[in-house]
Structure 1
Amino acid sequence: MFVAFLLSSLVNALIAVLAHALGAPDDFRPLEPSSYVFLTALGVLGGSVGWTLVRRFSPDPERLLRRLVPSVVVLSFVPDFFLFGEGEVTGVVALLLMHVAVAVIAVPTYYRVMPLSSVRATRSPG
């Protein structure tokens, strides 16, 4: 999981730099490393907890995760939408991209570290 956190943080740093270069204000707090690195850690950790629970309790974790992952990512956008009210479009779009970047990096890591196929293989039939 640490690798997913590290890669996600690096990609998010790149997104923040690009957002500032494209006009996001320097004082837009969500694009400061202290904000997005902490939230990246929470996202990767929270995702791994959710992944573990789905692996453990779902009869068909693959099918459930195919629906759950995109839904959770879209729901994670909601707090960022409230920042549009501050009039900061470039920064908010960057934040939305950060959510997607974390998912794109973390989900393959979860598949590798916590494969879904091993769960089905260890469950008894019926």
Structure 2
Amino acid sequence: MSAKAVTRPTVLWIAGGVAVAAVAAVAANALISLLAQAVGASDQFQPLQPSAYVFLTVVGVLAGAAGWAAVRRWSRRPAAVLRTLVPVVVAVSLLPDLALLFTDAQPNTSVLAVIALMLMHVATAAVAVPIFARVLPLDS
């Protein structure tokens, strides 16, 4: 029996998928921001403003896509690597948010605002990973 080979996606397919992931992740983060502000997070907390999270969300999606592609290209077992790497990267990305609770780095910081930021990281990954799996499929 022959193993199923992973097809090589076109640049347009990949770019379209990454663009869809970025737009969907920004939309999810906008919803999280609006909900957080509706239930009491300060609307003066800069990281919950579109001017902050839109750019950072797009950067996060692009970095995630680059990392996914690199693992896909150079790992002998990309699915196994990403099953570990994705949660670790998301967990590490939460550390700066947690640090906001213990510093005066951002005015108007609250536990609710930090939880919203953390949810934004998780939402970005939750949106992007299934799209990456579709546009950059992995060997088992």
For 1:54, the aligned partner's letter is V
Query: 2-side partners of 1:105 and 1:10: how far apart?
Result: 10
CA deviation profile, 1:20-45 (whole Å, cap 9, x unmatched): 01111111000000101111001100
Q: Tell me the CA shift for residue 47 of structure 1.
A: 0.2
| Offset, 1:66 | 0.2
Separation (CA, whole Å) in 2 of partners of 1:81 and 1:74: 11
User: Distance in 2 between the 1:34 and 1:113 partners?
Assistant: 28
**Alignment counterpart, residue 88 of structure 2, candidates 71, 82, 100:** 71
Instruction: Indicate whether 1:8 and 2:30 are aligned.
Output: no
Which amino acid in 2 is paired with 1:101? Answer: A
Whose helix proportion is higher, 1 or 2?
1
Partner of 1:61: 78
TM-score, structure 1 normalization? 0.90
Query: Matched residue pairs, number?
Result: 118
- 1:89 maps to 111
Secondary structure of the residue aligned to 1:30 is: helix
Which residue number in structure 1 is paired with residue 60 of structure 2?
Answer: 43
User: How big is the shift at 1:84?
Assistant: 1.1
For 1:59, the aligned partner's letter is: R
Identity %: 52
Give the equivalent residue in structure 2 for 1:123.
none
1-structure distance, mates of 2:92, 2:84 = 12
TM-score under structure 2 length normalisation: 0.81
Counterpart in 1 of 2:49? Answer: 32
Runs (4+) of structure 1 exceeding 6 A deviation are none
Residue 108 of structure 1: aligned partner: 130
CA deviation after TM superposition for structure 1 residue 71, in Å: 0.2
